[in-house]
Amino acid sequence: MASPTQLSLISKASPSPLFSTIPGTRFTPPTTVRPTSSRFTCLASQTGFFSRLGRLIKEKAKSDFEKLSSGFSKTRDNLAVIDELLLYWNLADTDRVLDELEEALLVSDFGPRITIKIVESLREDILSGKLKSGSEIKDALKKSVLDILTTKGSKTELQLGFRKPAVIMIVGVNGGGKTTSLGKLAHRLKNEGAKILMAAGDTFRAAASDQLEIWAERTGCEIVVAEKENAKASSVLSQAVKRGKEQGFDIVLCDTSGRLHTNFSLMEELIACKKAVGKVIPGAPNEILLVLDGNTGLNMLPQAREFNEVVGITGFILTKLDGSARGGCVVSVVDELGIPVKFVGVGEGVEDLQPFDAEAFVNAIFP
């Protein structure tokens, strides 16, 4: 196991407006900072810091509909045929229209189970006379999708508990977008005044910690990396969380190496990481977010099931939706696993991680 001396705390400039910029020092009293209306200005030790932080981030997302909407443009294009179908809909055409609607949902990776459920419920309501026009059918379609997302994956806000620091672990298969998502998440949380420590838990590839260091620099966060090669990921994470606790960080964001969900020993390493973090702070990690590549569509389902069985996933981050026309997988993954999508990645820039909002999503794909 790597000893604490094998690990170094690389202190990057930390120009948080609310906290001391000197690494390892206490918070400056909030009274020395002029609060702005959009910023959260309360210390973590005060009641509700984390729940308010989660809520605030989610609320901000609502005002950034444009970004979410452009991220889903390819999926929207796939589904545009539905508008054309419904524009000229009449009762005699019901079977043909529903067949084509079914096809459009399948092409966008809603998955057969959800697609059939939605289409059959529409058919019933049309035949019983409950839905009488194309626009009523479209509203009912939107409502069905929204109902799935809100009943099965309603807790889309980050759940960070009450103890400082909160710990978030980012996990997933190779190349899904873990490190990038961690960097973007750090940016969002830091913008709301949280003091963030990154932990370079991907000890598998030498370049991995360099990549995270670039994100630390870009976002002005501090980072813990292993000094020696082949350090155990679990020791890096446990050292980082200790550091976070001793030095008053609000949130420790833990990167991990990419692993195939079918690789038993690598999946065991994740269990070790989770345990190591929990030994430092009982109850941690507060969130284990599984990064899923939107381009893989329905193939993400077995990955999600396996990761969930091994470490217990608390939420998904769906990445690369900007390049994917398969955005329906958002719905199938929530429906199949009953775990909320918490963020969606809609580009490679620092601002391109959007908190997931079910209503905004439905309006983005069915305008």
Ligand X SMILES: Nc1nc2c(ncn2[C@@H]2O[C@H](COP(=O)(O)OP(=O)(O)OP(=O)(O)O)[C@@H](O)[C@H]2O)c(=O)[nH]1
Taking CB within 5 to 8 Å according to partner kind, which of Mg ion, ligand X, none is near residue 192? none
Closest approach, Cβ 282 to Mg ion, in A, equals: 28
Residue in 154, 187, 192, 100 with CA at minimum distance from that of residue 359? 154
Residues 284-343 that bind ligand X (CB under 6 A): 291, 319-320, 322-323
Residues 18-57 that bind ligand X (CB under 6 A): none
Of 98 and 225, which has the nearer Cβ to Mg ion?
225
Of 297 and 345, which has the nearer Cβ to ligand X?
345
Of 118 and 341, which has the nearer Cβ to ligand X?
341
Task: Provide the 3-class DSSP secondary structure of residue 214.
Answer: helix
Phi, psi dihedrals of residue 171, rounded to the nearest 5°: -130, 165
Torsion 188-191-194-199 (CA) sign? positive
Taking CB within 5 to 8 Å according to partner kind, which of ligand X, Mg ion, none is near residue 347? ligand X
Query: Measured between alpha carbons, how far is 207 from 176 in angstroms, rounded to an integer?
Result: 16
Asked if 287 contacts 252 with a C-beta cutoff of 8 angstroms, the reply is no
* Count of residues in contact with ligand X, rule CB under 6 A: 21
Of 194 and 233, which has the nearer Cβ to ligand X?
233
CA torsion 209→342→104→302, rounded to 10°? 60
Residues 147-206 that bind ligand X (CB under 6 A): 172, 174-180, 202
Q: Which residue is nearest to ligand X (CB)?
A: 258
Of 144 and 209, which has the nearer Cβ to Mg ion?
209
Taking CB within 5 to 8 Å according to partner kind, which of ligand X, Mg ion, none is near residue 157? none
CA terminus-to-terminus distance, the chain: 54
Q: How far does CA 93 lie from the centroid of its chain?
A: 41
Of 106 and 266, which has the nearer Cβ to ligand X?
266
**349 is an interface residue for ligand X by CB under 6 A:** no
Chain residues that interact with Mg ion, rule: CB under 5 A: 178-179
Provide DSSP, 15-28: --SSS-SSTTSPPP
Residue in 146, 145, 149, 140 with CA at minimum distance from that of residue 86? 140
Residues that bind ligand X (CB under 6 A): 172, 174-180, 202, 208, 258, 291, 319-320, 322-323, 345-348, 352
